[in-house]
Amino acid sequence: MEIVSSDDQEFQIQEACSTSHLTFKAPSARNPLIRQRSGTFAGFTEIEGNRTAGTPAKQEIKEEELQEKEKIKKLLNERRKFSRQNKWGNCSYKDLIVAAIESSPSKKMTLNEIYEWIVKNIQYFKNDSDTNSSVAWKNSVRHNLSLHPIFQKEPPQTGGSRSIGSYWKIDRSKDRAKGRGRAKTLPMQDLQSARVRRTDKPPTGRKSKSKVTKTGQQRRDSTPYNDSSIKKSSHTAMVDDNPMNELNSEFFKMGHPSTVATSSVRPPIAVPDDGDEQVTIQVRVPYEAFRLYREGNYNICILPKNHRELRQYSKAVSMGYSPV
């Protein structure tokens, strides 16, 4: 059990995770799953304080430009905690947006200005400013602006006939705090409200790279319906009569990271030849899986022992594996 304190409240996690076995019928591999402890308290994003603008007072414009280029080079090349090797360099969309906005003298930018900065300054996006493929990364930019509390917008402006949207600014005080247990302003994905799964619509999300397992089984695509006549929509909906709702809202003010934990299991699966072929099943532990109650000054969060396993189980079955 962990106790974590934030500015004004404390809460505990009790068995926010559990260990259990998921056994699938496997002709050749029949070891029971033994999974490690999961769903531990999330760590927090390292804040890059050292990229803050150094406010060069009186420099020649040319020199400033050179400095700016150096900064970008550093941003793309240096590895930081959690950084990935993206097509454009070792920085995240969030990093790019921060760099863009900070490069502006007024320290604020409209969405379109952010796009333009990226296209102008990041090689990878240069030939990609107005093509079909730009739709995807621009979507990601918007996603990141909305998602991260560090990005805040001023009241919307109007420019001529069409709206230019808002000016986006950096507010570091709203970024996730460094270290465990400090006051947190969490990204939206850590702040999901009480929703339940709706099964009448196909899901959205990232597509699987490998669509076929070694068993030859067709893996379910995350967006299996190309048929545009099938209307897709988010497949969750609020449940008004969830008795947890009241507690939920309080709970989420504290932004409990464990509610977004994903976990993987590697159950033995059916393979034709021999093999301990295993598959990773990622599931998101949904909010409603948790049982919450209050005890004194604490909100107690319990993930019922079997819940994660049940979700993994049903997902495995939907992928074509047969349980024992």
Partner DNA sequence: AATAATAAACAAG
Partner DNA sequence: CTTGTTTATTATT
Of 137 and 271, CB closest to DNA: 137
Q: In the stretch 147-176, what mask flags binding to Mg ion with x, by CB under 5 A?
A: ----x-------------------------
Q: Rounded to the nearest whole angstrom, what is the least distance from the CB of residue 270 to DNA in the complex?
A: 19
Q: Which of 289, 300, 303 is nearest to 10 (CA)?
A: 300
Q: Which is nearer to DNA, 58 or 207 (CB)?
A: 207
Does residue 37 touch DNA according to CB under 7 A?
yes
Close Cβ partners of 234 (under 8 Å, ≥ 6 residues apart): 198, 201, 204
Nearer to Mg ion, 186 or 281 (CB): 186
Kindly tell me which residue out of 20, 103, 185, 223 binds DNA, with binding defined by CB under 7 A: 223
How far apart CA 295 and CA 16 sit, in angstroms, is: 16
Q: CA torsion sign, 173 to 178 to 181 to 187?
A: positive
Question: CA separation (Å) from 1 to 40, 147, 180, 186?
Answer: 10, 29, 14, 22
Q: Write out the two tokens for 28.
A: 């050749």
Shortest distance (Å) from residue 61 CB to DNA: 27
DSSP type of residue 233: -
- Binding to DNA (CB under 7 A) within 113-172 occurs at 115, 136-137, 139-140, 142-147, 153, 156, 162-166, 168
Nearer to DNA, 103 or 223 (CB): 223
Q: x/- contact string, 251-290, with DNA (CB under 7 A)?
A: ------xx-xxxxx-----------------x-x-x----
Selection from DNA, Mg ion, none that 93 binds (CB < 5 to 8 A by kind) is: DNA
Range list of H helices, 131-242 = 134-147
Mode of pairing for the β-strands spanning 10-14 and 298-302? parallel
What are the residues binding Mg ion (CB under 5 A)? Answer: 151
